[in-house]
Structure 1
C-alpha cells in the first residue's frame, strides 16, 4: 500500500457504520467518505449443472465501489466483458450463472473471491474470503452393487450390501422396506458404508428392501431384494432341510415374451426356467401399475407352468411384470422385468347426470354440470370433455373443451327466455367417446320472476333486478341523456348572458352621448324644455 496508509479494523463511526469481516485500508477521508466493505458474503453452493446459480456479494462504500470476482485466483469474465458470457455481474455485486459449465477446460467449479475497490480515490479495498461452487451430477448410471435376495432363519443376521452409482457430490445411501424409508431410531437397523444390517432377524423383517442413492441432483432407487425369514422347526432344527428351499435360490427364470392381447385389457406372459427346479411348487407372477400411479405388487400363482394370461388390467395404464419360483412360503429370485402399456379405446358411454341451471344470484349466466361416464366405460384415462352448445335462432353452434378434472361450465345468455341446449362427451387418448343426449334449459326473464313471486319480493330481489345488464344499460343511457340536456341548457344560458352584456355596453355608450347633448341643451334653454324636468326615463341598462 502507499505511504501514509494505516491498516485498521473498521469500527462504527470510523469509516462508516458497518459489520466488516475483513481488514480495510483507510487514510484521511473526506467528509462522508468511507472505504468499501462487504455486507453480505457469498456462501458455498452445490448446484446441478443445468441449473442457474447466484453467488451473493453485497458491498457498500462512498464513493460506490466496483466489484470484481476471481475464481481460484483468476479474474472471472462476465457479460460486461464478453456479451456471450454465461456469467452476469448483478448491480448489487452478486455473480449470476445462467447455466453452470462442465465442458472440459471450462469448468465453473472452484473457489470464488469477491473484491470491492475504489480505484479512483484509493480509499481502500474490501475483500471477502473465498467460497466454493460445485455442480451436482444426476445419477444416470446404474448401481455398482445391487442388493441380492436373501433367505435367513429367525435369529440369524441379515446383511444387505449396496454400492451407489457414480455421482458428484458422492451420493449417500439410505434404505426402504416395502417402499417405506427405514428409520434407525429404534436400533433394529444399522446402516454403514452402504450396508444394511439386522443383527437378529424376526418374521416381521421379511419383505422387499431397496437401496436409495441421493445427492443434490436427485435420487435413484435400486431394484428391490426379497428377504425371507423362516421359523426353526419344532424339533429345534435350525438348518435347512436337504433338497429344501435353499435350492430355490439357484432357480433362474427369464421372462422372454410379454404381449398385450388384442381387443382385451389382458397380457400374455411366457418365461423360461434355468437351473434345478424340481423343488419348486410353481411360479408366482407379480405385477403392479407404474403410470399414471404406482400401486403395490399383486401376486398370481401359476403351478408349474411356464405361461399365463393376466386379465382385468386397466386401459391406459403402464404395468411392470416379473416372475419368481416359490415353494410354500419361500420365494426364489426374481426374473427380469417387462413393462407393458395397455392401449386405450374411446369411452363407450356418455357422461351422466347432465344439468343446466341458472346462477343463484340472478345474473344472465347458466351453469352446465355433469358426472363422468360409468367407470367400466372409461376404457382408459379420461383426459377431458367436449361440450357442444346447440345452435338456435339467436345463438350459434359452438363447442368448448375442458380438462378431465372439470365437471361444469358456465355460459352467458344475453337474452332471457332463450332455450339453451348442450351435449357432452368424454375423450381419452384413443379419441372422443359417445355424446350424451341433448339437455335444454332457459333463463327466465326478470319480469316473469317478479310477476311470479310478488309476495316474496325483498331487497335481495331488488338488487338482483338492478344488476341485470338491461337495467344497467337503461339507467346509464338515461343518465347520459340527462347530462347532455343539462350541458345544452348551461351553454344556452351562458350564451344569452354574454349577448345581453354586449348589448348593454353598446347602449350605455349611446345613452351617455345623448344625455350630454340634452344637458347642454337644457342649460341653454331650460324654460323651453319642460319635458326634461322629471319625465326623463332611464335607459334599459341604467341603474
Structure 2
C-alpha cells in the first residue's frame, strides 16, 4: 500500500512539472495602420498572437498613455487571441503611436505602430508675445502638428513699419529646435522686434502666427575708473556711466557706508544721455580721510549692478635722503640713498638723473628704478670727467623735488686715440718740425698733460727717443726736433698722455732732414717809388755752402690780393710795375738754394705816389732840404764844398736812424718821403725742400734759353740799370 502511494506521488509531481513546462510566453504578430489615410476616413488595426499560451490580457496605449475611445468615435474589441482598434472618423488628434501590450502568466510582449493621417498644419501650442532680459536667452514656441510633418519657418520684421520680413536661420546665437521653437541666446537690443512662425506641409493651407519679442535692459556700468587719485585740497571726480531701461536709481557708498545727500563736501548729480545715465560724485577740498572705495550702485525693474572706484589721496613724495656716491671707478659709480622722510603716499619708482659737467651742457641721463631699490650702479661713464647726480621719488600724483646735487669725478684712463693730422717737415739739415692736433675730446679720458714725440733713424733697431711737449690750449701743437743728422731719414710718432698714462701713438711718419740749410732771408730795401711802380733791391746773407738759385718776391695789396714773382739768383733788384697810385703794398723776399726756400724777409710797407692814403696811417712828411734841389745847387757851385759836408753829415744820421728802424718793417712813400711802420709779429720759419711757388731754377736749361722761360713773367727789370 505504501509503495502504491509513493508511485502515485511521483506521477503527480511529474504531471505538475510537465504541465508547467508546456506554457509559452506571448508573441505579437506585427501590424500597421493603413497608409495614406485621410481625415474622416475609417481605420482599424488588429493585434494578434503569433504564439503563446492563453489566457492572455491585451492593453492599448497611445503615445505612452492608456488608450480609451468614446463609443461614438470607435471601439476597442478584444478576443482570446487578438485585440482590435476601430476608429469611425479619423481626426488630426488621432495621429500618434499606438502600442499593443499582451501578457500571460509567464511573460509579456508589445508592438507599436504609428497612425499617420494626411492633415494640414494645426496648432498644438500657438506662439505668444515674450519678454526677456538683455544678455539672457529667450524661447519663442511654435507647436505645430500635421502630416506630412510641416516645415516651420521663422521670420523677423525689419524696418519701421514691420511689414518686411527676413528669414531667421540657424546661426550664432539663434537655434530652431525640431519642435519648431526658436531659441535666441545672449539677447541684445537688436534682437527685439516682431517675429512670425509659418508652417506648411503641402496638405491644405499653411498657418502662421506673429509675436513680439521685447528685450528689457538691466542696468550695466559701461564706464568707470577702477582707480583714481586726487591731490589733497583739490576736487576729486568719480564718474559712473550706466546704461539700462529707465527708470534707473543710483546711490553711492563709501567703504560699505551709504552716503546720504546732502553730505559735507560731497555732491552728486546725474546727466541723462541717449542710452542711460552718467552719474558723478564730486568731493571738494579732498582730505586724506576721503581715501577709500566708492561704490556706485544702480538698479531698475530688471536687475541691479554695482561697481567700485578706489580713490587715493596723494601728495608728491619728498626728496630721497642721504644721497651719496661711493665706489667711484673710471667708468662706473655706486649711488646709495634712503627713503624719503615725512608722510607721503606710496612711491611708484625712483628716478636717478646724472650728467657730465662740461663747458658745453652735458647730456641728461635718466634711469627709472623700482620703489624697493636703495642703490644703483651708474654705468658707461667717461673716465676723468666730473659728473653731477640727483635723485627724486615719484608716485601716482607725480614727481617730487630732486635731492641736493652730488658731484663726483671718475678716475682717469689712458687716452683712447692718438693725435691727428700729424705733419713732419724738414726745417734744415739738423731740425725737423712736427705739428699735430689733439685727439678728439671724448677720447681723452681725463685731462691731457702733454705729448710724447718719439723719433729714431728709420730702420734702426734702437728704441724711439722721446721728447715731452707740455699741452697748450691751441688748436695745433708743434715742436722742433733738433741736433739731428743731416740728410737722414727719421721715423716720427706722437702720442698724448694724461695722469693715467700714455695713449696710443700715431702712425709713424718718415721724413728726411736736409743735406744742407736753406738760405737766410735777404736784407731788402726800397730803391725807388713812383705812382705805378716800386723798385726793390736786396743783398743775400750767406750761411750755406749752396749758392742762391733764385729769389721769390711776394707782395700783397690793400685788398689782400697776393702776387708772386721769381728772379734768378744772380739778380739783386727788380722793378714791380702796373701798381695803383696812392695804394699801400706789403712786400717781402725769400731766397732758394738746392735745399729749399729760406725764410721771407720782414715785410716792407710801401705807398705808391698819388692822392690816396691808407686809413689810419698819416705819414710824417719831412721835406727834402732845399740844398738838395738842382735849381739851387747850380747857382751855388762855389759853395759845393760846404754843402757837400752838410749833405754827408745829414745822410749819415739819416742812414743810422733807418738802420735801427730797418729791424722792423719799413714804410716807403713817394717823393723820397719815409715813415716807420710796425708790422705784425715776425712770421715763423717756413722752410721746405720743395715749395709750391718754387719754379724751375734759373740756371737749369729748359729748352727756352739760359733762363728756362720768359723772365718777363717773373720780374720787370728796370731799363738803363746795371745788375750784378
* Structure 1 length-normalised TM: 0.34
Greater Rg over alpha carbons, structure: 2
Q: Per chain length, whose mean CA-contact separation is higher, i.e. which structure has more relative contact order (CA < 8 Å, sep 6+)?
A: 1
Higher strand share: 2
Higher helix share: 1
* Structure 2 length-normalised TM: 0.27
